[in-house]
């Protein structure tokens, strides 16, 4: 079985320096709308997704203002995901390969490495989040482990002995799922998203039975912003939604390449993004708001919520489900992407599996629990991520839709010939590189300059718009 679990077509003329079985165009594309829908469910239904959705309702906005912000933000994600999905679905190649048409056959390694390194950091953080949920289960079942959960008594590099055990177990589990190939991953994500819905409906039902329907309140915090004064806060909420999905959105071509048709991909995106995210957000608010009358305090962490239930079975079921769901998003968003990205750097020596394992090892070396325990670092990381991912997105979209007019010569994506369409200058497209660098630097200014910090949450939008405009302008004579 190949890593893609589908037949790839690698022609003899394809240069081995640019080709392996995982990067070559697919001959068979088998994913339907449900598979794409399940992909997004896995991406949304996690501890991080729950906390992110819940945090928006604590911004001082009314419930309807938050829901409008959510719909606008997820609508932007839906629109851009369709744009980035189309070239990969039509050609059957992953994100780093389609980038060759814009950045050059060698220049594509620039966006691939940037996206891969970002994914490595978040892979470690999401694994840590899932391991924290597993810790809750272990402590409930085996209270004698409590001393080993204390980093002061039994800790190493900032993580407790129990934390290391849980992190290692989930690290190995994710690696095992990934190693079996894309078909197993498809089945895994088909299960993860719906499983979380089942647990969340059960959790909401339990809390409603305890507190009653009248206790549901869509304003989790005090409403502080009304009228025109609420617009800046709503724009911030919209930017947060887009930033949260910016990583999976950029490399969505890694998944859309498996779609039976572009229409099937769009249907899956519609169900998985606007429809699914809205339902999930409402469930989050219902559950979180009911924790106040039932437990006496507002809980926006689903694992903390299930941990307060007086049932060992319920705690184990809930925490394990959220752990599995977080594994699902991690494999989808932060494992497969660097697997393709690092493989693209040297296809002859780095297979898809090897690329994924490079990412997995790197995720441990950065000690993600230390990053997660520092909110300022996480905040800074999100804004920096947006500043770099936005330009990559803008340049790719401009290159495919404005400059190339949606035409891609698939065979030229795999040739090192100097006469190839995507050879540009020594394998690099200087216009794409310059556009990306300039847009990233400009987008990073608000992140680095305290006086401009109010604009920092919009780093993705600034980088994307500037990258799009610069590359379109520089390539005007090449259309």
Q: What is the per-residue pLDDT across 178-207, written as a single tens digit (0 to 9) for each? A: 788 777 777 877 887 788 888 888 888 988
SS3 category, 26: strand
Structure tokens at 469: 């405009």
pLDDT for the residue numbered 217: 83
Domains of the chain: 33-383 (1.10.4160.10)
- Reference 211, options 275, 324, 290, 322; nearest CA is 290
Which is more confident, 40 or 121? 40
Of 126-140, 363-377, 403-417, the range with the highest mean pLDDT is 403-417
Q: Are 67 and 237 in contact, with CB atoms under 8 Å apart? A: no
> Which has more confidence, 381 or 390?
390
Residue 478 or 436, more confident? 436
Q: What integer pLDDT is reported at residue 132 of this predicted model?
A: 81
Q: Which tokens go with 285?
A: 């608010």
pLDDT at 468 over 90: yes
| 3-class SS of residue 8 | strand
State how far the Cα of 403 lies from the Cα of 396, in Å rounded to an integer.
Answer: 10
Using alpha carbons, list the distances in angstroms from residue 323 to 129, 187, 207, 330, 369. 8, 17, 21, 10, 16
Q: What are phi and psi of 8, to 5 degrees?
A: -110, 155
Q: Can you give the pLDDT at residue 63?
A: 79
Top pLDDT among 12 and 313 is at 313
pTM score: 0.84
Mean pLDDT of the residues in the chain: 85
Report the distance separating Cα 307 and Cα 455, nearest Å.
38
Under 8 Å CB-to-CB from 217, ≥6 apart: which residues? 289, 292
Residue 19 half-sphere exposure toward CB, CA atoms < 13 A: 19
Residue 12 confidence class, pLDDT cut points 50, 70, 90: low
Name every residue whose Cβ is closer than 8 Å to that of residue 472 and which is 6 or more positions away in sequence.
Answer: 398, 402, 403
């Amino acid at each position: 079985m190949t890593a893609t679990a589908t037949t790839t077509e690698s022609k003899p003329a394809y240069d081995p320096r640019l080709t392996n079985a995982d990067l070559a165009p697919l001959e068979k594309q088998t994913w339907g709308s449900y598979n794409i829908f399940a992909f997004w469910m896995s991406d949304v239904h996690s501890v991080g997704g729950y906390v992110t959705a819940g945090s928006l309702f604590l911004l001082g906005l009314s419930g309807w203002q938050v829901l409008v912000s959510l719909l606008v933000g997820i609508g932007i994600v839906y629109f851009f995901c369709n744009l980035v999905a189309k070239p990969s679905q039509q050609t059957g190649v992953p994100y780093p390969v389609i980038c060759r048409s814009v950045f050059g056959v060698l220049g594509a390694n620039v966006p691939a490495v940037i996206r891969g390194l970002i994914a490595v950091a978040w892979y470690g953080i999401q694994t840590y989040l899932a391991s924290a949920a597993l810790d809750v289960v272990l402590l409930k079942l085996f209270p004698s482990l409590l001393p080993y959960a204390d980093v002061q008594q039994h800790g190493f590099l900032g993580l407790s002995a129990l934390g290391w055990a849980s992190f290692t177990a989930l690290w190995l589990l994710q690696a095992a799922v990934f190693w079996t190939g894309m078909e197993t991953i498809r089945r895994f994500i088909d299960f993860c998203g719906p499983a979380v819905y089942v647990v969340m409906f059960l959790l909401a039902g339990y809390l409603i039975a305890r507190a009653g329907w009248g206790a549901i309140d869509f304003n989790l915090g005090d409403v502080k912003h009304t009228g025109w004064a609420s617009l800046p806060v709503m724009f911030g909420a919209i930017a947060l939604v887009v930033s949260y999905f910016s990583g999976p959105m950029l490399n969505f071509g890694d998944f859309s390449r498996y779609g039976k048709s572009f229409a099937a991909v769009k249907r899956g995106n519609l169900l998985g993004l606007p429809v699914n995210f809205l339902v999930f957000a409402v469930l989050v608010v219902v559950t979180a708001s009911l924790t106040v009358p039932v437990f006496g305090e507002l809980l926006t962490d689903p694992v903390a919520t299930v941990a307060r239930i007086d049932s060992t079975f319920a705690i184990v079921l809930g925490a394990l489900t959220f752990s599995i769901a977080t594994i699902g998003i991690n494999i989808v968003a932060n494992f497969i992407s660097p697997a393709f990205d690092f493989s693209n750097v040297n296809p002859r020596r780095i297979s898809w599996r090897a690329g994924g394992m490079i990412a997995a090892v790197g995720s441990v070396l950065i000690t993600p629990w230390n990053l997660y325990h520092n909110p300022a670092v996480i905040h800074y990381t999100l804004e920096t991520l947006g500043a770099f991912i936005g330009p990559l997105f803008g340049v790719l979209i401009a290159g495919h839709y404005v400059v190339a007019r949606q035409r891609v010569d698939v065979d030229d994506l795999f040739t090192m010939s100097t006469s190839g369409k995507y050879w540009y200058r020594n394998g690099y497209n200087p216009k794409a590189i310059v556009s990306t660098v300039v847009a990233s630097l400009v987008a990073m200014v608000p992140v680095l300059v305290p006086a401009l910090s109010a604009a920092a949450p919009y780093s993705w939008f600034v980088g994307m718009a500037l990258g799009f405009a610069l590359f379109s302008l520089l390539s005007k004579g090449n259309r």
